[in-house]
């Protein structure tokens, strides 16, 4: 009897612990890049490693928080968007660069990218109608595409349109490069950040601490903090920022 009661208490305690937000070790993971891992940097630079980490986070958002979520339960994906990465009105420090006709193309295998598919039926329809297998190859030059590069996070967000077709381009391996139409420079506001919650940005106020998307957003911002003033960004990006 006593043993069963003790086991029930232990199971209840475990359930309570599972419900509590866990302390993230993400900062420790990033700091590891400045430790013994330096021995391996003759082939992969710290800049490249940080962007691959950004890519892991972005892929998790694309496939877990958006694509899978809407297929399973339509209209339940989080409302992550460009505004979450912009400073609040009190610290309105960011610049917008429209590249105009000088579109920038970055390799998709190394560029962190987030598309926000929001319609389950659109995903299914586009699987059938977009791609070489559907005799309609993905078109990276489409006028519908509108992508935004966030500096110094090094990530690309889909802007006004073409969330679903770019998802299919990624899924079918036909999106060899990612087109950049605008660059948002948030480096000044990121330097002004005084805490690890990035409370001077809209995303910090939007999500609850228990929301998994907030943890990913904070992780993206954290890596961006390490990339501030890094000279190894694509030269096309750095050139536009200097104009």
Please tell me the predicted confidence (pLDDT) of residue 16.
45
- Asked whether the beta carbons of 96 and 82 are under 8 A apart, the reply is no
The answer to pTM > 0.75 is yes
Which tens digits make up the pLDDT trace of 156-175?
999 988 999 999 999 999 99
Rounded Cα–Cα distance for residues 232 and 211 (Å) = 33
Rounded Cα–Cα distance for residues 81 and 84 (Å) = 6
Which tens digits make up the pLDDT trace of 108-161?
999 999 999 999 999 999 999 999 999 999 998 888 999 999 999 999 999 988
Please tell me the predicted confidence (pLDDT) of residue 17.
47
CA-to-CA separations, 111 to 53, 59, 114, 234, in angstroms, rounded: 10, 11, 10, 10
Which tens digits make up the pLDDT trace of 54-76?
999 999 999 999 999 999 999 88
Cα 183 to chain centroid distance, Å, stands at 15
Which tens digits make up the pLDDT trace of 2-54?
556 556 655 655 554 454 445 678 888 888 877 765 556 667 888 999 999 99
Q: Which two tokens stand for residue 218?
A: 């904070």
Please tell me the predicted confidence (pLDDT) of residue 72.
94
Please tell me the predicted confidence (pLDDT) of residue 178.
96
Half-sphere exposure of 231 (CA within 13 A, CB side): 0
């Amino acid at each position: 009897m006593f043993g069963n009661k003790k086991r029930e208490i232990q199971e209840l305690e475990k359930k309570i612990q599972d419900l509590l937000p866990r302390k993230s070790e993400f900062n420790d993971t990033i700091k590891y890049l400045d430790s013994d891992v330096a021995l391996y940097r003759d082939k992969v630079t710290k800049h490249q490693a940080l962007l691959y980490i950004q890519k892991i986070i972005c892929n998790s958002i694309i496939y877990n928080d958006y694509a899978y979520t809407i297929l399973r339960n339509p209209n339940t994906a989080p409302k992550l968007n460009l505004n979450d990465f912009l400073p609040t009105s009190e610290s309105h420090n960011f610049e917008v660069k429209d590249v105009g006709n000088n579109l920038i193309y970055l390799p998709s295998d190394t560029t962190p990218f987030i598309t926000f598919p929001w319609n389950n039926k659109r995903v299914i329809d586009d699987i059938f109608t977009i791609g070489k297998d559907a005799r309609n190859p993905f078109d990276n030059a489409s006028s519908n595409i509108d992508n935004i590069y966030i500096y110094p996070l090094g990530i690309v967000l889909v802007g006004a349109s073409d969330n679903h077709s770019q998802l299919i381009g990624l899924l079918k391996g036909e999106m060899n490069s990612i087109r950049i139409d605008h660059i948002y420079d948030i480096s000044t506001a990121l330097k002004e950040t005084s805490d690890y919650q990035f409370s001077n940005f809209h995303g910090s106020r939007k999500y609850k601490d228990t929301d998994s998307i907030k943890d990913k957003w904070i992780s993206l911002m954290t890596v961006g903090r390490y990339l501030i003033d890094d000279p190894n960004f694509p030269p096309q990006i750095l050139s536009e920022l200097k104009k």
